Structure 1
Amino acid sequence: METFLYTLIDQAQLSESLEAFFVCSGLPMRLLDHQGEVLLQFGEDSSYCRLYENHFPPGDTCPEHHIRAAARAQNLGEPYLFACHAGLNHLVFPLIHRASLLGAVLAGPFLMHEPDVLLFQGVTAKYPLPRIQATQLPAAAGELPVIPPEKVTQLSHLLLHLLRSLILDSRQQQVANQEKLHQQSLIHESIQAYKFTALPALTYPADTEKELLTCLKTGNLKEAEQQLNRLLGFLLLEEGNRLQTLRNRALELCTLMSRSALEGGADSSLILPLNSRYLELLLGDTTMENICHHLSEILKAYMECMFSHISGKNSGLMKKAIAFLVKNYPSPITLQDAAEEVHLNPSYFSSLFRRTTGLPFRSYLNKVRIEEAKRLLSSTDYPLLDIAIAVGFEDPSYFTKVFKKYTGVPPSQFR
């Protein structure tokens, strides 16, 4: 495993990083393997630790404590501050590849306040020492560095920035774990809100689902994520631990979001392959946390597809204009309405819109309308006249003409 670790991370670069942190912080630094054994060390073992050497029982040794702390850090996705079984503080940073813990970097030991009698009493009660060694504990503890909590926090941040880029997969895994934890806390909040709802029986929040899809189409990522987490909170509350039922709901949401992205103007050549890939991903998920996290990633990916063609200094204005267009396409909106929405001269707006999106304003609007018409034709039995009006065409014959231009067939044949 040691050899494999060094195939993923440059040994010289890691050594330089650990030495730099040791020199700047004064904390001993160790590189641990997957069993907690030391591969590389800067700084000497403390005399406090040496007093306890060989006095911990099997299953409760320092390497075992250290690697368990590294596993906890892996779940948190960041450096983890912990107190070892001897009552001393450490910072541990996990080294991860393909979700497997290969080892860790350990900084410490240190104290966050001056040693007192409680430290010695607690440890010696659990792990008795011979009398001579026990009397040496206060002097040995006095040699340990004392670092105030606020400085420990900054050292943790420094350790993260120093090491997280050394293994790309490690950094990605930590970010994903942090995102999962944050999302689960938000979902938990929504579950608590549903629990205190005054309604005698909870019903599926269709309005929340509708708002989620609207936010997706209009490019409002922050609000879309909030609505998704509320929806997931309801599903988790209702379905309990039934993984398969939650997966089925997630598959439905994935498909609904893909359709909304198409309605919002995303290229079907991007969305349809993505949808197939994400459905396979959800089918392979074995935990509820992964299903929730993947739905959040799917939401972001679909939104990126909708706006991937927009870049440059005016991208914010154009995204706002497209969001206005997607939200109001059923109404008889004009180029001037959209220009006023973003406070631009209509002539300049027209030129900028075409340069940014590759389509004239009217063509882009018709594209959005036709995507929605295709959805209604496929999923409802509404009359063609009603569909034409619902998507913003007042003239049915013009609707048929535009529909055939974009799809190659008239709406009656498409159905």
Structure 2
Amino acid sequence: MHEEAFDRKLAEECARAFSLSTGLGCTLSDKEGNTFADFGYSCEKCRLCEVMGGTRTGCIRAHIYGMTEAARFGGKYIYFCPRGLTCFVSPILSEYGAEAKITVGPFIMVERQDFIDCELIENACLTGEPLEAAMRVVEDVPLAAPERVNQLSTLLFMAVGFLNNVSAENRLLQSRRSDAIQGQITAYIQTLKQEGDTRDYPFELERRLLQSITRQEREESQRLLNELLGAILFAGGADIELVKARVYELLVLISRTAINSGADPQRTLRLNQEALSGMIHFHSIDSLCLWLSGALSGFMNELFTFSDAKHANVIHRCIQYIGEHYSEPITLRQAAEHVYLTPPYLCRIFKKETGITFNEYLNRIRINKAKELLANRKLRLTDISLLVGFEDQSYFTKVFKRITGMLPSVWREKKLEEETLLNLS
């Protein structure tokens, strides 16, 4: 199964939507019958084979046969499982052929009693308790009229056709992108040759790449990554195992840098493992180079996409933490530990998302709370500064004046005068 052969998430959404809208079970599985996801009353949930003393092996064969026939007859096929229940299927295609399928069913296409009489009593010759058990299972199987089944099969065919078109377009875009990246790598190798560069590993280029990732400079990171890959291929010459070793070392460094910059550790390490597993299948420099250009750029894409999606939740949790602990001597490091990030990374994304630094936001929250307390003339300025998290009154006064434009005592008198005038009026 080729990982990039089809959009599994989109296929699952399609199967789920089809099941919810029609009331029939839907199963997304690969061409060998291994289930990715199932919704509603699917074959996975049907117990008819079990109560009739059989296994699902025959059903799996029937589903694979149905997919093969659907591919032969234009993309859809209606068929019966070994127990006489109805299914229909449409294959999900890739450039290699049918890679997966969405199967709808099982369901009954006749009157329920007719199914019992024909399939259970006449064909399977069930009697006594086995018949009673099978009848109880049949009561849960959905019904679908014959004239409706053909229309539903067409609807599934159209939905899966959309999936196939999306996958084909994605493959085309990926191919174009890989060609462009491959061109950049080749051009950099030619530059190294023309300059008579040595085949030493370019540690300086590696350092610049990791710094770019830390700063989340996506385009610059991709450019440096292409150049570094070109340098690795140039330095490695024809030794493919040496190239693989260098590339894997680079992947480890990129993943560590990403984790230190806020990426999810488990997700990042899983990407590393997938890349390592993919590398061992290549035995020529050309094929490895083409694959690596896509794999490494995909790795980078995952990192930045995850980072972007994560920011909103992190900032929300950080702001909530400040609101709960502003009266304490909290620091950027404590807030970063609370949201499981490094202080430099939190500092950077906080400024990016809010427009001000962490400390500036904290001070503004504290000063706003101080304004509320200043309305109480009985509270001393020293007490107020401590209550809002300032250990030093002089620093509190300095911050208050910088944010409001006046000293705390002046602000208090001004507000009390305003309240007095308002009460007199």
Q: Fold conserved (TM > 0.5)?
A: no
When the two structures are superposed, what TM-score results if normalisation uses the length of structure 2? 0.38
Structure (1 or 2) with the larger CA radius of gyration: 2
